[in-house]
A and B are shown apart, each in its own frame.
Chain A
Amino acid sequence: MNQAIFDRVRTLLGSASTGKSGDGIAQAAPDSTDGISATLALAKNEGWRVRIEGRGSWMPPNAPADLVVTSLGLDRVVKFAPADLVATVQAGISVAALERALTEGHAWLPIDAPGRPDRTIGSVIATGTAGPLREGFGPVRDHVLGCTTVTGDGQVVKSGGVVVKNVAGYDLNKLQAGGFGAFGLLTEVNIRLRAVPASDLTLIAQGGRDALTAEARRVIETKIDPGALELLSPAVAADADWVLAVRLIGGAEGVRSRAKQIRHDATVSWTALTGDQASALWHGAARAFLSGATTIRLGVLSESLDEIIDLVAEHLDLGLLSAGTGKGGLRWSGEATVEHLTRLRHVLAAREIPLTLERAEWKLRHAFGHFGAYREGVGAVVSRLRSTFDPGAIFQVPLDGTAVDG
């Protein structure tokens, strides 16, 4: 650990907010946006490389840095308005703690991100890691109404607001959701909530992959508007077979009716899970992705799923895989090299399918990049945006990668 950096940060924040990271780097854990701002301004002035961390349970906390700035000191619900179904929370609060707080107000945040429940909400938003509920409730960005972000030179920028509809000013929230922290460190977010549904039923079908994707297409044709409609590989579902899982959310009568519609003319056998079984399935599936060292997501539509799953099998494997069979999206986790991923990214790019590296060890992230090559003209825009939000280039966030030639 660089003692001089540690001492400077301790002087700035005090001993209670200063420590050492797991890999021996000076760590700042400010308990306020102002503290984050002062820390990043200092880092920029000193030319320190900064690693942003939450709990460290999703993204491996191993980017080389001079200073780690963690959001864990920011773990409060700032304001919760159940009547408006809006909450303002600090970015370091865990998903589990947030869920507990919301339940008291009969509210719910329909994001079922992969990973452990102790992940911070800031991590979920910054990485844009939506789970199967994206089918019915949209991607992570759709739940973010406003952000407080600290830029790489310590400026505190607010975007959006606390109302559910708002077009005042440019929508800078969109850069933060899925920006991997390249555009600043999130300290507070205003999130849109839902009332806890009266009924939440999960049905599963087990079998061969082709039979299940065919059944998924049939389910979509019924227009039953599922909350989730996800194809899970055996390893993700902890099952001997592939599993197609549908989650029906809403009023009790409507959920019963939709379940009946699914079973009507079904080409596979559907089983309704108990609440505990459903919870075990979805939480298990979320955690399963941590079993692989590397996680990617593909922006693929359901019509191309069969072909793309085959491509993933050809270039990687079919170990840990989950795919949205309605509105699309595919997540894979496992062991992969830069070369394997690069080849896959090329093949997918030819089909206009983006591959995003969600998590990996630093060496792979740095070489491959979260996004890798962009479409023509986009890279220059992204580069200028990064310079705007991080003029000293202090954030250790490898959006582009170094080993990918496009």
Chain B
Amino acid sequence: MPSLALAPPRTIVDRAALATALGRIVGDRWVRHQASELRTFSADGLPTHQSMPMLAVLPGTREELIEVVRHLHRSGIAFVARGAGTGLSGGALADAHTVLIPLTRLHRILRIEPKTKRAVLEPGVVNARLSEAVAPYGLQYAPDPSSQAACTVGGNVAENSGGPHCLKYGVTTNHIVELEVILPDGTVTRLGSPHGEPWGPDLVGLFVGSEGMFGIAIEITVRLVPLPQAVRTLLADFMAVRSASEAVGAIIAAGIVPAALEMIDQACVKAVEASIYAAGYPTDAAAVLLVELDGEPVEVASDGASVERLLLAAGARTVRSATDPAERNRLWQGRKKAFGAMGRLARDLVVQDAVVPRSALPDVLDRITAIGQKYALTICNVFHAGDGNLHPNICYDGRDAELTERVRAASREIMQACVDAGGSITGEHGVGSDKLDFMPWIFDATSLRMMCDVRRVFDPAGRANPNKVVPVFACREWRAGGVS
């Protein structure tokens, strides 16, 4: 059998004519084609990957979005849907042959249904805004990426985003019950059901995390959860990173599932404390753990006492407990704004994302330190320790080509160390462009080829977010019988 095209054909496009046609759909002011306008859309927070789209079109209504996708289908033009551009994987980037569709104008919360604990929204709704909107009903939207003040729920759906509180509450896929989607050929359909049962095979589960390669979510129905009755936040500081890592394992092994269990190492603590986000973290500690428990008040108090004992037994120097919302918010601000604080240290910052089994954390963190020394780089770690989701951060100056190459090499070696430890190359940022090369480290040729085939079910022409997630050229070779 001849191979079907996995990457879209490079259609010769009259850019001006396309801009005019799309302008007729969304209004001329919502089609961006000047280089100065497009620069805004050339990155997604990862400085090692930049790309200028052919043009950007910003639909303002559901109908406009549908018409844009159908026009691009008729024209055979590839497209990339984009939320707020905070993905950090090079996933929401389009090249000169591809139209970018930012969805930030589709930012309406359509319905909040407190009785059924559901909300229905457009994809451009900002994550934090959703939780703010449902809080008066005693509800929250649990997935809370660190970028939640900017990132969109549509982007979260594409990436299956996580966040600190996903340890207890689950990641995005656990909170999406129904999607109205437009497939790349312009077909509009609804997946799942508002009641949570998939209504057939679990196509919502398959769609979530497909990184915009199966189509675009037009309308999203999310599951909301009640705000907890009680919350307790603990901060423990350790003089050795290994001790902090071991405390993480001890807490989970004790059968306690904290709402969040985060680790911040010394380099990162120093950056936070030197910034406007200072949270009162001890700067002489090798690492701090931020542990949050929530739920029924007596249980929170009881588990809190147990966690405190476990932290001290693992070698914590001190354990501090936030007793009021202001103090809790301050402790969290340090964690949530850590990337911002580190961004002050150098011109560029690479935030990596990998996962390891919890038991491997101590050794992998040692290995990351060694990799930093090998490449003469300072690597800071701030991450979701409870689920082994690491975020090594490397500050550097992207104008220095030699330094940039060292950053790339170190990132690659960190990924290899995580995979060697039984882990995965991404826990919440997605593969995007950044990790394409690493996919064959964790999936064999047959499994990657099956991913290509599944993608083709939704997008036979490969026009939605082309050349991401699965290394398509390698896939073509395998299809031709070279490897498999």
Which residue of chain A is the closest to B229 with respect to CB atoms? A223
Taking a contact as CB atoms closer than 8 A, the residue among A173, A174, A195, A297 that contacts B254 in the complex is A195
Find chain A residues with CB under 8 A from B302 CB.
251-254
Nearest Cβ in chain A — how far from B474, in angstroms?
13
Instruction: Decide if A196 touches B255 in the complex (CB within 8 Å).
Output: yes
Instruction: Decide if A170 touches B455 in the complex (CB within 8 Å).
Output: yes
Instruction: Name the interface residues of B417-462: CB closer than 8 Å to any CB of A.
Output: 422-431, 435, 439, 442-444, 446-448, 450-451, 453-458
Complex Cα gap A342–B456 (Å):
33
Instruction: Decide if A141 touches B388 in the complex (CB within 8 Å).
Output: no
Nearest Cβ in chain A — how far from B66, in angstroms?
13
Nearest Cβ in chain B — how far from A170, in angstroms?
5
Find chain B residues with CB under 8 A from A197 CB.
255
> Is A352 part of the contact surface with B, judged by Cβ < 8 Å?
yes
Residue among B115, B301, B446 with most chain A CB within 10 A: B446
Which residue of chain A is the closest to B113 with respect to CB atoms? A303
Complex Cα gap A388–B457 (Å):
8
Nearest Cβ in chain B — how far from A380, in angstroms?
8
Given that A170-B209, A171-B208 are known contacts, is A81 also in contact with B253, CB under 8 Å in the complex? no
> Is B355 part of the contact surface with A, judged by Cβ < 8 Å?
yes
Find chain A residues with CB under 8 A from B252 CB.
85, 195
Chain A 154-197, CB within 8 Å of chain B: the 1/0 string?
A: 01111101111111111111110111001100000000001111
Instruction: Decide if B201 touches A223 in the complex (CB within 8 Å).
Output: no
Instruction: Decide if A166 touches B295 in the complex (CB within 8 Å).
Output: no
Find chain A residues with CB under 8 A from B199 CB.
299, 354, 371, 374-375, 378
Taking a contact as CB atoms closer than 8 A, the residue among B159, B229, B423, B453 that contacts A388 in the complex is B453
> Is B189 part of the contact surface with A, judged by Cβ < 8 Å?
yes
Chain B 240-259, CB within 8 Å of chain A: the 1/0 string?
A: 00000000010011111100
Nearest Cβ in chain A — how far from B69, in angstroms?
14
Stretch in B190-198, B282-290, B320-328 touching the partner? B190-198
Instruction: Decide if B201 touches A183 in the complex (CB within 8 Å).
Output: yes
Instruction: Decide if A198 touches B160 in the complex (CB within 8 Å).
Output: no
Complex Cα gap A276–B7 (Å):
60
Taking a contact as CB atoms closer than 8 A, the residue among A166, A178, A198 that contacts B202 in the complex is A178
Stretch in B170-178, B265-273, B340-348 touching the partner? B170-178
Provide the main secondary structure of the chain A interface.
loop
> Is A281 part of the contact surface with B, judged by Cβ < 8 Å?
no
Taking a contact as CB atoms closer than 8 A, the residue among B193, B355, B359, B435 that contacts A166 in the complex is B355
Instruction: Decide if A182 touches B201 in the complex (CB within 8 Å).
Output: yes
Instruction: Decide if A158 touches B426 in the complex (CB within 8 Å).
Output: no
> Is A4 part of the contact surface with B, judged by Cβ < 8 Å?
no
Instruction: Decide if A81 touches B170 in the complex (CB within 8 Å).
Output: no
Which residue of chain B is the closest to A304 with respect to CB atoms? B195
> Is B467 part of the contact surface with A, judged by Cβ < 8 Å?
no
Instruction: Name the interface residues of A89-138: CB closer than 8 Å to any CB of B.
Output: 106, 128, 138
**Chain B interface category by residue count:** 35 or more
> Is A385 part of the contact surface with B, judged by Cβ < 8 Å?
yes
Instruction: Name the interface residues of A252-308: CB closer than 8 Å to any CB of B.
Output: 252-258, 261, 297-301, 303
> Is A382 part of the contact surface with B, judged by Cβ < 8 Å?
yes
Find chain B residues with CB under 8 A from A385 CB.
201, 454, 457
> Is B210 part of the contact surface with A, judged by Cβ < 8 Å?
yes
> Is A314 part of the contact surface with B, judged by Cβ < 8 Å?
no
Taking a contact as CB atoms closer than 8 A, the residue among A81, A170, A329 that contacts B206 in the complex is A170
> Is B298 part of the contact surface with A, judged by Cβ < 8 Å?
yes
Given that A301-B195, A371-B200, A384-B457 are known contacts, is A171 also in contact with B206, CB under 8 Å in the complex? yes
Taking a contact as CB atoms closer than 8 A, the residue among B254, B300, B303, B388 that contacts A163 in the complex is B388
> Is B356 part of the contact surface with A, judged by Cβ < 8 Å?
yes
Which residue of chain B is the closest to A151 with respect to CB atoms? B450
Residue among B301, B302, B451 with most chain A CB within 10 A: B302
Which residue of chain A is the closest to B442 with respect to CB atoms? A168
Given that A165-B387, A251-B306 are known contacts, is A354 also in contact with B197, CB under 8 Å in the complex? yes
Residue among A83, A298, A327 with most chain B CB within 10 A: A83
Complex Cα gap A261–B297 (Å):
11
> Is A225 part of the contact surface with B, judged by Cβ < 8 Å?
yes
Complex Cα gap A378–B389 (Å):
34
Instruction: Decide if A164 touches B387 in the complex (CB within 8 Å).
Output: yes
Complex Cα gap A251–B257 (Å):
11
Given that A81-B357, A299-B193 are known contacts, is A399 also in contact with B249, CB under 8 Å in the complex? no
Instruction: Name the interface residues of B275-299: CB closer than 8 Å to any CB of A.
Output: 295-299
Find chain A residues with CB under 8 A from B174 CB.
138, 142
Taking a contact as CB atoms closer than 8 A, the residue among B189, B195, B456 that contacts A354 in the complex is B195
Apart from A223-B226, A329-B197, list 11 A-B contacts with CB within 8 A. Answer: A157-B446, A159-B447, A167-B160, A168-B425, A183-B201, A253-B301, A257-B298, A258-B296, A301-B195, A353-B195, A377-B188
Residues of B at under 8 Å CB distance from A? 115-116, 159-160, 162, 166, 170-171, 173-174, 183, 187-191, 193-206, 208-210, 213, 226, 228-229, 249, 252-257, 295-303, 306, 355-359, 384, 387-389, 422-431, 435, 439, 442-444, 446-448, 450-451, 453-458, 469-470
Residues of A at under 8 Å CB distance from B? 81-86, 106, 128, 138-139, 141-142, 151, 155-159, 161-175, 177-179, 182-183, 194-198, 223-225, 250-258, 261, 297-301, 303, 327-329, 352-354, 356, 371, 374-378, 381-382, 384-385, 388-389, 399
Q: Give me 27 A-to-B residue pairs in the complex whose CB atoms sit less than 8 angstroms apart, sorted by A's number.
A: A83-B249, A83-B253, A84-B357, A84-B388, A85-B253, A85-B358, A163-B423, A163-B424, A164-B358, A166-B424, A167-B429, A171-B160, A179-B201, A195-B254, A251-B302, A253-B301, A254-B298, A298-B197, A299-B198, A300-B195, A353-B195, A354-B200, A377-B188, A378-B199, A381-B189, A382-B201, A384-B457
